[in-house]
Copies of this chain bind each other. A is one copy, B any other.
């Protein structure tokens, strides 16, 4: 949970730095991210003491520390499997590289996709996957194949030694515990959002709006 927030902090600090800020307080960060300063201090203190009382955190220093904690002080090679509509948007997304994630190879099972040049990369056939993972030291894969293919593709990736997967397919794949899988699924997200979209903003869940509990 903490770890999921650190990238958010990273982004906020980065933004404030670009605005010329040198020193940043937990208040500043809290305001930027819409959370409480205490939360931020607690999170950071979990990894070390980076601030100065009465002053705040030195932006550059904190950036570096967070990058180090998250292992973002290096480059990560990423491979993409499934270069359909979504895959194409992902490849040509310029947001990965500046953060140290380089998509170094893209693969598709469809021969009509193979050979295409997308975002500076030539789409390769699946038969080349193994070599690429090995030679290019890839440890992260982005999966953007149809749901029916996802489990099989992911299984292959795991066999090749991939250690983390960003999965766009609407499935919950089975992987060894050693492999981290994170899913991105807009439908699931929308499906939970609607829960809160009640006319009155009322809640459900067993009528717990009765604050006086009637003892049996």
Contact = CB atoms under 8 A, between A and B. Distances in A.
Contacts of A72: 191, 194
A188 to B, nearest CB: 5
B88 A188 contact: no
A4 interface: yes
A216 interface: no
Nearest to A169: B95
Given A34-B172, A85-B89, A186-B166, A10 B71 contact: no
A197 B180 contact: yes
Nearest to A78: B190
Given A172-B34, A206-B47, A166 B192 contact: no
Contact of A204 (B69, B166, B204): B69
Contacts of A189: 166, 182, 184
Contacts of A7: 187-188, 191-192
Query: Which has the most chain B C-beta neighbours within 10 Å: A69, A189, A193?
Result: A193
Interface in A72-96: 72, 76, 78, 85-86, 88-90, 92-93, 95-96
A6 to B, nearest CB: 7
Contacts of A142: 186
B90 A186 contact: yes
B89 A93 contact: no
Given A3-B195, A89-B89, 11 more contacts: A6-B192, A7-B187, A10-B191, A11-B188, A48-B206, A70-B192, A86-B89, A95-B186, A96-B187, A99-B190, A182-B189
11 contacts: A6-B192, A7-B187, A10-B191, A47-B205, A69-B195, A70-B192, A70-B195, A71-B194, A71-B195, A96-B187, A164-B190
